[in-house]
């Protein structure tokens, strides 16, 4: 009875727009991470772009995470509902066109452009549409919650994102095994189409709660902010250094699938990809409590070091169990540093410009994705057959080097 009352209270504290937006986000993440789980393998083995699969996949994710701050202008201009519908429409078309590259009845269309050019075009199209999702959902959460429940609202949002990241690859595995890897893209396309209909039918433009100030952004204003932020070389240097973490993270999707199937002979590689998300779900609150009294930079450094050393476990033992434990260890490092990253970033920003600077805190994710794609292709083509353990040792070296660069940066600029 008490649990039921708590759930009713939780429901009443948030608007219908809040719950609908987060439900849409859950299923969008299912589609996105379902595709993400198999995309590099699909491009390499089904489409035949073996040498560039990592770079193309990295470009796809990099664009998605690089454009949200600009995409936010479209939300302000056209509203949450129209922008969400545009996002899901582009996603639906984009996933379909990507999947078409791996189907016989798509060969004539692909042949007009050539495989590489066709895939590049449809990946960019899909990524541009995907960049619209974050400002829509995050903006809805911010606009429909009061100060006393906003933290809880974002906790619900992040939990659903992680659940989507954990469940999506498992659904992709079932579809890949039953129908074929190209149908994972079709599943994501169909899911996105259903989300388009769901947005049109259920979602209504959220009305900001009284007292919440809203600032309409413009493209001119965004570019002024970009110039302002990029003039701060110290801040940009930190973001570039920190992108090393995301170069490591993306290898779970770019490099691990090939290692699992070709070295470990573990065909259900999607299971290994979900380990990080499940561990984040279960460990993030605990790790935040353990390190809450530590200075942000200290917690970040420890988390970075744990994540960097996780690859040594995978490369050193070379077993499926070691790989699972290694990815779990990486997740513990991620859960240690992630909550403190934004706190540390805010300390680097001028006090009167914290909001502007925080808007650019996602850049390491995008930079890391661009870099991770090229790194994964290099490691896979250089070491997969001759010395697969070396891939993980090199990746660990990248992480440890980045950790040392962070420490040097912190010592020079003496930020706490």
Give per-residue pLDDT as tens, 270-318: 999 999 999 988 887 777 777 777 888 888 899 999 999 999 999 999 9
Q: What's the rounded Cα separation, in Å, for the pair 411 and 416?
A: 10
| pLDDT surpassing 60 at residue 9 | no
Question: In the prediction, which pLDDT does 198 show?
Answer: 95
Question: Of 277, 337, 326, 279, whose CA–CA distance to 304 is shortest?
Answer: 337
135 and 68 Cβ atoms separated by less than 8 Å: yes
Rounded to whole angstroms, what are the CA distances from 311 to 12, 50, 212, 232? Answer: 45, 24, 45, 33
Token code pair at residue 164: 């989507």
Residue for token pair 């491009």:
43
Structural tokens at position 327: 């990815």
Portion of the chain with pLDDT greater than 90, in percent? 57
Pair 39, 60: CB distance under 8 Å:
yes
pLDDT confidence of 237, banded at 50, 70, 90? very high
Instruction: Give the CATH number of domain 14-217.
Output: 1.20.1250.20
Selecting from 3.90.1310.10, 2.70.98.40, 1.20.1250.20, 3.30.70.100, what CATH number does the domain 229-416 have? Answer: 1.20.1250.20
Distance in angstroms (rounded) separating the CA atoms of residues 273 and 268: 10
Domain with CATH 1.20.1250.20 in the chain: 14-217, 229-416
What are the b/e assignments for 222-252, b being 16+ CB within 10 Å?
beebeeebeebeebeebbebbbbbbbbbbbb
Contacts of 205 (CB under 8 A, 6+ apart): 17, 79, 80, 81
d(CA 120, CA 195): 25
Between vectors from CA 296 to CA 295 and to CA 297, what angle results, nearest 5°?
A: 95
Is it the case that residue 416 has pLDDT exceeding 50? no
Per-residue pLDDT at 56: 96
Nearest to 69 by CA among 142, 131, 144, 126: 131
Instruction: Evaluate whether 79 touches 214 at the Cβ level (below 8 Å).
Output: no
Q: Which residue has the higher pLDDT, 69 or 185?
A: 185
Summarised one tens digit per residue, pLDDT across range 108-123 is: 899 999 999 999 999 9
Residue 28: which pLDDT band, with cuts at 50, 70 and 90? very high
> What's the mean pLDDT in 360-386?
93
pLDDT digits (tens, 9 = 90+) for 193-205: 999 999 999 988 8
Sign of CA dihedral 250, 251, 253, 254: positive
pLDDT given at position 75 = 79
State both tokens at 397: 């070296």
The secondary structure of the chain in percent helix, strand, coil, rounded to multiples of 5, reads: 85, 0, 15
pLDDT at residue 210, as a whole number: 52
Contact partners, residue 18, CB within 8 Å, separation at least 6 = 140, 141, 144, 145, 153, 206
Q: What is the mean pLDDT of residues 88-101?
A: 96
Nearest in space to 363 (alpha carbons), one of 244, 277, 248: 244
- pLDDT value at position 401? 96
pLDDT digits (tens, 9 = 90+) for 141-175: 777 777 667 667 777 877 788 888 899 999 999 99
Mean pLDDT of the chain: 87
User: Residues in the chain, how many?
Assistant: 416
Contact criterion met (CB below 8 Å) for 303 and 337: yes
């Amino acid at each position: 009875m008490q649990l039921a009352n708590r759930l009713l209270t939780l429901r009443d504290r948030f608007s219908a727009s809040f719950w609908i937006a987060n439900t849409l986000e859950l299923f969008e993440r299912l589609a996105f991470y379902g595709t993400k789980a198999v995309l590099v393998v699909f491009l390499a083995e089904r489409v035949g772009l073996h040498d560039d699969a990592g770079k193309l996949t990295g470009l796809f994710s990099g664009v998605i995470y690089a454009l949200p701050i600009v995409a936010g202008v479209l939300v302000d201009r056209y509203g949450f509902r129209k922008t969400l519908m545009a996002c899901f429409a582009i996603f639906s078309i984009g996933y379909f066109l990507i999947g078409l590259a791996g189907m016989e009845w798509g060969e004539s269309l692909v042949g007009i452009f050539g495989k590489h050019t066709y895939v590049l075009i449809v990946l960019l199209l899909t990524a541009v549409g995907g960049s619209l999702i974050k400002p829509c959902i995050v903006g809805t959460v911010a606009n429909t919650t009061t100060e006393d429940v906003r933290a809880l609202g974002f906790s619900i949002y992040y939990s659903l994102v992680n659940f989507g990241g954990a469940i999506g690859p498992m659904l992709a595995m079932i579809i890949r095994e039953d129908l074929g890897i190209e149908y994972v893209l079709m599943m994501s396309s169909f899911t996105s189409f259903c989300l388009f209909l769901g947005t049109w039918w259920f979602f209504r433009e959220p009305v900001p709660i009284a007292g919440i100030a809203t600032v309409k952004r413009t493209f001119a204003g965004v570019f002024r902010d970009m110039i302002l932020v990029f003039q701060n070389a110290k801040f940009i240097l930190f973001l570039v250094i920190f992108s090393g973490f995301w170069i490591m993270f993306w290898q779970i999707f770019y490099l691990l699938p090939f290692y699992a199937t070709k070295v470990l002979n573990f065909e259900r590689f999607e299971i290994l990809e979900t380990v990080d998300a499940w561990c984040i779900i279960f460990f993030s609150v605990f790790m935040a409590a353990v390190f809450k009294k530590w200075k942000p930079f200290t917690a970040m450094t420890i988390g970075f070091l744990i994540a960097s050393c996780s690859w040594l476990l995978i490369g050193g033992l070379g077993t499926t169990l070691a790989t699972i434990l290694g990815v779990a260890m990486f997740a513990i490092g991620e859960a240690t540093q992630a909550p403190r990253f934004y706190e540390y970033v805010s300390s680097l920003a001028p006090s009167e410009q914290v909001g502007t600077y925080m808007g650019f805190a996602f850049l390491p994710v995008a930079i890391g994705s661009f870099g991770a794609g090229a790194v994964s292709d290099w490691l896979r083509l250089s070491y997969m057959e001759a010395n697969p353990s070396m891939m993980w040792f090199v990746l660990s070296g990248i992480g440890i080097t980045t950790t040392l660069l962070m420490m040097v940066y912190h010592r020079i600029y003496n930020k706490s």
